[in-house]
Structure 1
Amino acid sequence: MNISLVKAKLKDSEVIHKMQIESFSTLLNKYEDFETNPGNEPLEKIINRIKQPFTDYYIVNCDNISIGCIRIVKMDNKHYRISPIFILPEYQGRGVAQKVFNMVEEIYYYVKTWELDTILQEEGNCYLYEKLGYKKTGETKVINDKLTLVFYEKSILRMKTKDLKRCMKKVIYPVVK
């Protein structure tokens, strides 16, 4: 299974919209969150997001077949948000989302803080994000009597090159006295 990310263009809006509806329709029916569910968003909203200078949309491909999407939002200096990410139902549970997150963190290697939110009642989503190192912020937002959003954040600590070299030197070549 070869996973790749392709930066979306305006011409991809309809494909993204179709995949988004398919990916979120089960959750829309389950939680009836018609105002907030990406599966209920009009095509125009996706077009507007792709046009935003602070947004990067990527189509997720599996063996050159479009199977999902991830949107990266630049909040401020080195603080980014993921909203939304989705994988078509028939490709879920195969580790695709985990690979996508790893790829995004490599592309945006300079980001220090990532944030996202998900449905508190969807334990599989919460498990995935926590497995990837995201921590609950303590913030929640009740959408309706069936659905509460829970907010996550992930801080990335990176050493400066000189500190990394000094650390590696101590680990690999310890001085024996």
Structure 2
Amino acid sequence: MICDAEPSASSHQRVGAADQIQALADKLDGLCNRVADQVDAADRAIEAADRAIRRAHQLGLCHHQFAIGSIAIRRLYGPDGPSECLELTQAAVTTGFGCVAVTWSSDDYQEWQEAGEPHDGVSKRCAPLRDCSPTVRVALLSHIPDLLRTLLRGVERSLTSE
């Protein structure tokens, strides 16, 4: 190998590119760590909520209660999905499933809205939130407190009416 006494301009560029790649990789790794921490916190909160909902249901404090939030995630379907539709996802809390994600096509969601039957057709679209992707769990987490408050109010009303 022949070495020049002075580094060439392309040698400086390679070192500069390597430094940039390392800095960008470090930044990406930092973002991944931050998201991983959010996922861990979301998982702990979802498990606590699911456990409390199951217990309330087992004690007979709530039967067939359901609270659904607003649309939280709007995204295009993948390459195999319909190009004219969006995939819509919202958080819900049910006594049957705990914390869930409800996923619709934009067409199905519009039909459901127009039908005026708030609970019909929803249960088949529910997926336990703990089984959803990490990004979905984190995105829907901020909607769960209001839904749990709704469920809690229903339980409190049922206790005062007995």
TM-score grouping bracket, smaller chain normalisation: under 0.3
More helix by share: 2
Higher relative contact order (CA 8 A, sep 6+): 2
Q: Normalised by the size of structure 1, how large is the TM-score?
A: 0.20
Q: TM-score, normalised by structure 2?
A: 0.21
Greater strand fraction, Structure 1 or Structure 2: 1
Larger radius of gyration: 2
